[in-house]
Structure 1
Amino acid sequence: MRRCLGSANGSRIPDPARASVDKTGVFFDSLALLGIEHGIRLALQPGTRRELRGNFWDDYRGSLHLPKHWEDTDSWPVNYIGHPIHGAAAGYLWLEHDPTAPITIEFDNRYWASRGRAAAFAAIYSFQFEVGPISEASIGNVGLRPETTGWVDYVVTPTGAFGLVIAEDVLDKFLVAWAERHTTNRVWRASLRLVFNPTRAMSNTAAGHLPWYRPDRSLSW
């Protein structure tokens, strides 16, 4: 299991054995996150399950094309809340494997650069999720009908992820960590982390951690 060390102010102490991003770790953890997300789609969306019956390669190729409009057929909450959430979870996976990324918000250039890289990875993850080999296009044939695809997913996912990661970092440092200093109840502390950092909980799960894991604040579980 990967372990990170943190200083008192939340800066990550660079690991001399790992000076660059662990891209292999990011890759396999991203596969785990994809498995979680597509598993939810297959469990909750009968239409997605029905689309599995056709010819895989013909339907997949027919689902790949440039969007012709901004919106797709998803609801507003899915596009403007759900997609930033899944992008932020991917962004936190990147940060998990970036030894130079600060653990907590610091308002300095190193912090902003690290979150920018996380947002860029969220854009790559989103592109794969939309049209890649393990995507909505290949699993459920989203795009076979042109009106089901739009630019909204490609733009809102990384930009929303950037904002959401920062928002969760702020909440974790100035609300959750503050509240934890006033209690020793581990259930209460874990619950606060889940409520105020849901995308980090998703990322932790995909990375093989407990959902409430923090590299600098162990609950000794």
Structure 2
Amino acid sequence: MAKGPSGIHWRSLFGEWWLELVMEHTERIIKEPKTRDQLSGRFFHGWINTVSMYRFDRWDDNDKFFTSYLGHPTQGAVNAAIFWQNDDHVRFSDQDFHSAAYRNALLQAFAFATFDAVQFKLGPLSEASIGHVGYPARWWDRDCKALHIPCVPRTGMNDLVMNEVGGLAMTIGFHWLDKHLQKRIEGRVHSRALIDTTRILTNPPQSWANIVRFRAPWFRDNRP
């Protein structure tokens, strides 16, 4: 239940996060044949086995650079934006590092993005449970070191870290663009279409977060 007019609206926060999670997994199932292949079988057995074999001793999971260092930070930034738009302490304000509320919201958004990252990789509704990402496809994938053959890891720590670290950096950067570039554009132009388009371009994570609360992508809480 929401705290009130000056708190964090937990019910809508987790409702929007849930919708974002469903959309992410739907995209995975549509795009990834390996994920679809693993949907049958014992859910809990496959999930527990996948998590138990996760490579916490590695950084790189052999994903594409774009996926690891842009896609996952963007996922973190979207979840930070979902948190932001449900926190009345900051959602009507501009970036202000002198504000304790802004600094606290950054830490809370970081924690929320961390929760999402761990859940998305390892939780009960994760890549590990839905599609068993990281589970060896063949017995020799598991025993490759003992057999002295090349290992092709599918898991690592990078996504567990880059979601929130990269996501927070993106959040701060997009807040800066909104305050110092976007608001200047809006003060100089009168075209509603141009204003709406530049709002989307200068803060894509917020625009996507708007969609899961059924708002227009260009909507901003602190101005019309």
Contact 1:88 1:119 in 2 (8 A): no
Structure 2 residues not aligned, in runs of 5+? 137-141, 143-152
**Does 2:90 match 1:101?**
yes
1:83: which partner in 2?
72
| Closer, same or farther: CA 217–109 of 1 in aligned 2, 3 Å | closer
What is the number of residues matched between the two proteins?
204
Of residues 169, 180, 184, the one that matches 2:190 is 184
For the pair 1:121 / 2:112, whether they are aligned, the reply is: yes
Matches within 5 A, 1:161-176: 161-176=167-182
Quick one: distance in 1 between partners of 2:21 and 2:43? 19
Structure 2 Cα separation of the partners of residues 200 and 16 of structure 1: 23
- Asked if structure 1 preserves the Cα contact closer than 8 Å seen for 2:3 and 2:9, the reply is no
Name the residue aligned to 1:156.
162
Give 1:216 shift. 1.7
Instruction: Tell me the residue number matched to 2:47.
Output: 60
Is the 1:51–1:140 contact (alpha carbons within 8 Å) kept by the matching residues of 2? yes
- Letter paired with 1:178: R
Q: 1:9 is matched with which residue?
A: none
Unaligned 5+ runs, structure 1: 1-14
AA in 2 matched with 1:162? L
Task: Report the equivalent of 1:132.
Answer: 123
User: Which deviates more from structure 2 when the two are superposed, residues 47-56 or residues 193-202?
Assistant: 47-56
Who is 1:71 aligned against? 60
Q: Deviations over 1:26-51 (max 9, x none)?
A: 11110011112112212222222222
Query: In structure 2, what is the equivalent of residue 210 of structure 1?
Result: 216
TM score, norm. by length of structure 2 = 0.84
Q: Distance in 2 between matches of 1:174 and 1:114?
A: 20
Deviation, 1:70, is 1.0
Deviation, 1:16, is 8.9
Whether contact under 8 Å (1:202, 1:211) holds in the other structure is yes
Work out which of the two has the higher radius of gyration on C-alpha atoms and give 1 or 2.
2
Q: Distance in 1 between matches of 2:218 and 2:23?
A: 17
Aligned amino acid, residue 47 of structure 1? K
The one-letter amino acid of 2:215's match is: H
Checking the alignment, whether the CA contact within 8 Å between 1:101 and 1:114 is kept in structure 2 is yes
Give the letter aligned to residue 211 of structure 1: P
Q: Secondary structure at the match of 1:27?
A: helix
Assess if the C-alpha contact under 8 Å between 2:12 and 2:86 holds in 1: yes
Q: What fraction of aligned residue pairs are identical, expressed as a percent?
A: 29
Q: Distance in 1 between matches of 2:4 and 2:121?
A: 35
1:141 corresponds, among 103, 121, 132, to 132
Write the distance in 1 (CA, Å) between the matches of 2:4 and 2:41: 48
TM-score of the superposition, structure 1-length normalised? 0.85
